[in-house]
């Protein structure tokens, strides 16, 4: 077993957890030589000689062969990852934004420099989705990957499920319990889920998309009325990230609030958990489930990546690497659009209408909408509309 | 990518499926050179020159570097696997009985001959449990692996769930729908689950146990009354295979009908599906779910193993390999024991009793029992008793 000499960027809860596990387990043969941090004055639970504020203390140290990058800033993280790969160091990262934005460049750097770049922790924490897509489904034809990939929004939606709590109250509960950031925008607008979906899509289908290609709606407009509708019909509302191959071979990437039948697999994913369904020609449907974020799940995923480096594991992306999206979504899906009675709304977006409902306070329409039309209409950003897909 | 030359033993539904996928997908670079079968007169959907009844046509052919073994007979399968490994060929098998009975010998043969022996299809079909235990959880401390690993019994239990169907009727439905063998003994007595649990236990904990070490009770004694009790209390009865590390570091391997709270993860595993929970120190609880058996799921797992051979993948068993069981189960668990009123039963096996119930037809007792005592009493083989563990 190869000895690893590690340089660590970031010493937050995950970084400290990694440091503790590796220093308590000599059998892992992984030695942290240097930890680069931003704030030298904070008290740290590790010997002070390990710390530095100079990133070159890691990047220019030829004895360090592995860089673990656990910082928040996606731009700084990219500079670190890029330089480290160029210097011939393996890199482990948990920064989904950085990876989603620079996926091709990072994979090229990995290839050119014959090193490994691993990032299981960036997608669904401890749920080994990427490793399974890479290794296990590499010759089975996948039809879809869809699931709950963001713990903050799933926690909020679980709180709102009863139809009695508003979004604001549920968000506050999530923040108080450490399941949402003080600025929750990336999570609640579905942006974080789009980053993850673009990473998943490349590993699942060999198709390259930008997170901006994802047809996206967050959860901020959802109202108790929507949850009451769901409950009456036997549904649960989940924020579902979904890359599906349509009948004509087209990739349809979406992040949308979605009605999930309460007897379906994804309905069991509650609170801060994540769960992903993988649909394939041979294996039918597989489900991977676990904690998607937080100190221990993220540490677990990072440690698995470190362990994989010891036998020179690389993502091979055997399914190839083609531009996965031409911007065309000529697919019709069923939607629910709900709003306060009197809100201006042009129902001509619906190709066909199944239900119209209006009470003194609340209105909704269900029916079919073409996804191109949904995107181009601009209503996805209308804060007054609840837009929920049917499965 | 390495070209694989394959010799296939067995041409049942899985063998034929593998043949079809590999011959239709030249990009998999896997060529089936010979197929050894038992009955030469059966009509086969493949060119007749591929078939032989002489196993040496594969084992003695130096051009064949991979043997896929898909036959039922565990003894014959072992002879094939052994000779193939000795001849320096990689082996893929789906035969859990053969593997459970010869695990050490087969792994030693793999090491001595520096070849790969892979068997993901032997445990939970397309659910990649072994690969994940090997690769992903190799440095996270596992506390338990427990789940539903037998599709036949799970199908029967799902049918019986309502408390209106008897075991015999449910078994017949399973057989008619292709989910149970005409001789279902291995499945319904929990023997198949014990084979799988012993394989899982080695990969999860690095502890070697025989399937006979597993404290085991099947589902044949379960009665509608037991399911009515379960429904009243909010439980579902599942046959749970469970290897748990007790507080003093002892391995406790059991296959038992178990009351699962209907809101728990495993309660969602219905019909012929399998689902396994992996509990670990860092990653908390992970759940893997999918189809456990059948043509396509098994083919999918075999194909994944074939694919892994192309980059020389081996199970490394990094957690080691120690004798995992001293026969002592000094652990107390809560049980339900039910029987027809008047059946002789000595309740002194209970360390403490929580409930006693008797109607004109049905009796049950719930309370705590030491596992050593449960095993040594012999009541596990008493066909008149429903013995169900609480989680």
State ipTM: 0.76
- Report percent pLDDT > 70 for chain A: 99
Arithmetic mean of pLDDT, B230-249: 95
Vertex A154, ends A152 and A158: CA angle to 5°?
Answer: 120
With an 8 Å Cβ cutoff, are A126 and B25 in contact? no
B139, pLDDT greater than 70? no
Q: What is the band of B138 on the pLDDT scale with cuts at 50, 70, 90?
A: low
Closest chain A residue to B294, measured at CA: A283
Torsion sign, CA atoms A314, A319, A323, A326:
negative
With an 8 Å Cβ cutoff, are B290 and A308 in contact? no
A133, A245, B201, B306 from A139: Cα distances, Å: 10, 16, 28, 10
Interface of A with B (CB under 8 A): 17, 21, 25, 28, 125-128, 131-132, 135-140, 265, 268, 275, 280-291, 296-297, 299-301, 303-304, 306-308, 311, 316
Q: Is A373 considered catalytic here?
A: no
A20, pLDDT greater than 80? yes
Characterise A223 by phi-psi region: left (phi > 0), alpha (psi -120 to 50), beta (else): beta
B386, pLDDT greater than 80? yes
Q: pLDDT tens across B32-43, in order?
A: 999 999 998 889
Q: pLDDT tens across A90-137, in order?
A: 999 999 999 999 998 999 999 999 999 999 999 998 888 998 898 777
Q: Which H or E run contains B297?
A: helix B295-309
Arithmetic mean of pLDDT, B139-149: 88
How many beta carbons lie within 10 A of that of residue A271, not counting itself?
15
B140, pLDDT greater than 70? no
Arithmetic mean of pLDDT, B329-333: 95
Q: What is the band of A140 on the pLDDT scale with cuts at 50, 70, 90?
A: low
Average pLDDT, chain A: 92
Segments of chain A assigned to CATH 3.30.360.10? 130-294+324-390
Buried (b) or exposed (e) across B235-249, using 16+ Cβ within 10 A? bbbbbbbbbbbeeee
Q: pLDDT tens across A160-187, in order?
A: 998 889 999 999 999 998 888 889 999 9
Active-site position among B83, B196, B238, B291:
B196
B325, pLDDT greater than 70? yes
List chain A residues with CB under 8 Å of B282: 17, 21, 126, 296-297, 299-300, 303
Quote the minimal CA–CA distance from B371 to chain A in Å: 30
Quote the minimal CA–CA distance from A301 to chain B in Å: 8
Using CB atoms, pick whichever of A17, A126, A311 lies closest to residue B286: A126
Quote the minimal CA–CA distance from B348 to chain A in Å: 40
List chain A residues with CB under 8 Å of B308: 135
B16 phi and psi angles, rounded to 5 deg: -65, -40
pLDDT of residue A232: 94
d(CA A150, CA A242): 13
Tokens at B320, concatenated: 């080691």
Q: What is the band of A310 on the pLDDT scale with cuts at 50, 70, 90?
A: confident
Best residue in A17, A273, A278, A290 for a mutation probing chain B (most B CBs within 10 Å): A290
Q: pLDDT tens across B95-125, in order?
A: 999 999 999 899 999 999 999 999 999 999 8
pLDDT of residue B29: 84
pLDDT of residue A243: 97
With an 8 Å Cβ cutoff, are B138 and A307 in contact? yes
List chain A residues with CB under 8 Å of B130: none
pLDDT of residue A87: 97
Arithmetic mean of pLDDT, A15-38: 89
pLDDT of residue A139: 60
Chains A–B, number of C-beta pairs less than 8 Å apart:
127
Using CB atoms, pick whichever of B135, B285, B288 lies closest to residue A308: B135
With an 8 Å Cβ cutoff, are B304 and A126 in contact? no
What CATH number does the domain located at B130-294+324-390 have?
A: 3.30.360.10
Nearest 10 degrees: Cα torsion A11, A12, A18, A22? 40
pLDDT of residue A129: 93
Segments of chain B assigned to CATH 3.40.50.720? 4-118
What CATH number does the domain located at A4-118 have?
A: 3.40.50.720
Assess contact for A219 and A248: CB atoms under 8 A.
no
A283, pLDDT greater than 80? no
- Out of A42-56, A235-249, B92-106, B129-143, least confident range: B129-143
With an 8 Å Cβ cutoff, are B25 and A139 in contact? yes
Flag whether the pTM goes above 0.90: no
């Amino acid at each position: 077993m190869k000895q690893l000499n590690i340089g660590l960027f970031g010493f937050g809860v995950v970084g400290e957890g990694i440091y503790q596990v590796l220093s308590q387990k000599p059998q892992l043969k992984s030695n942290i030589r240097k930890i680069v941090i931003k704030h030298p004055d904070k008290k740290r639970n590790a010997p002070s000689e390990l710390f530095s504020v100079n990133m070159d203390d890691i990047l220019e140290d030829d004895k360090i062969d592995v860089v673990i990058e656990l910082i928040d800033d996606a731009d700084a993280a990219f500079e670190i990852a890029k330089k480290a790969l160029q210097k011939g160091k393996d890199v482990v990262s948990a920064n989904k934004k950085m990876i989603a934005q620079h996926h091709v460049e990072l994979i090229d750097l990995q290839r050119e420099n014959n090193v490994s770049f691993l990032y299981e922790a960036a997608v669904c924490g401890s749920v080994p989705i990427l490793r399974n897509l890479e290794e296990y489904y590499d010759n089975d034809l996948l039809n879809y990957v869809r699931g709950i990939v963001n713990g903050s929004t799933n926690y909020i939606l679980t709180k709102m499920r009863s139809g009695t709590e508003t979004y604001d109250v549920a968000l506050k509960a999530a923040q108080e319990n450490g399941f949402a950031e003080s600025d929750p925008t990336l999570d609640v607008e579905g942006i974080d889920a789009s980053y993850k979906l673009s990473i998943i899509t490349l590993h699942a289908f060999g198709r390259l998309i930008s997170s901006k290609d994802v047809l996206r709606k967050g959860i901020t407009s959802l109202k108790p009325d929507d949850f009451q509708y769901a409950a009456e019909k036997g549904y649960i509302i989940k924020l579902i990230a979904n890359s599906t191959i349509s009948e004509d071979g087209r990739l349809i990437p979406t992040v949308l609030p979605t009605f999930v039948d309460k007897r379906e697999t994804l309905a069991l994913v509650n609170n801060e958990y994540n769960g992903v369904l993988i649909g394939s020609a041979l294996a039918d449907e597989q489900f991977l489930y676990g904690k998607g974020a937080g100190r221990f799940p993220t540490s677990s995923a990072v440690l698995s990546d470190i362990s994989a480096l010891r036998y020179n594991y690389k993502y091979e992306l055997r399914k190839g690497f083609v531009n996965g999206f031409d911007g065309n979504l000529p697919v019709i899906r069923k939607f629910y659009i709900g709003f306060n009675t009197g809100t201006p709304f042009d129902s001509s977006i619906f190709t066909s209408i199944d239900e119209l409902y209006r009470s003194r306070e609340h209105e909704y329409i269900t029916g079919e909408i073409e996804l191109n039309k949904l995107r181009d209409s601009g209503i996805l950003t209308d804060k007054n509309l609840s837009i929920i897909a049917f499965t």
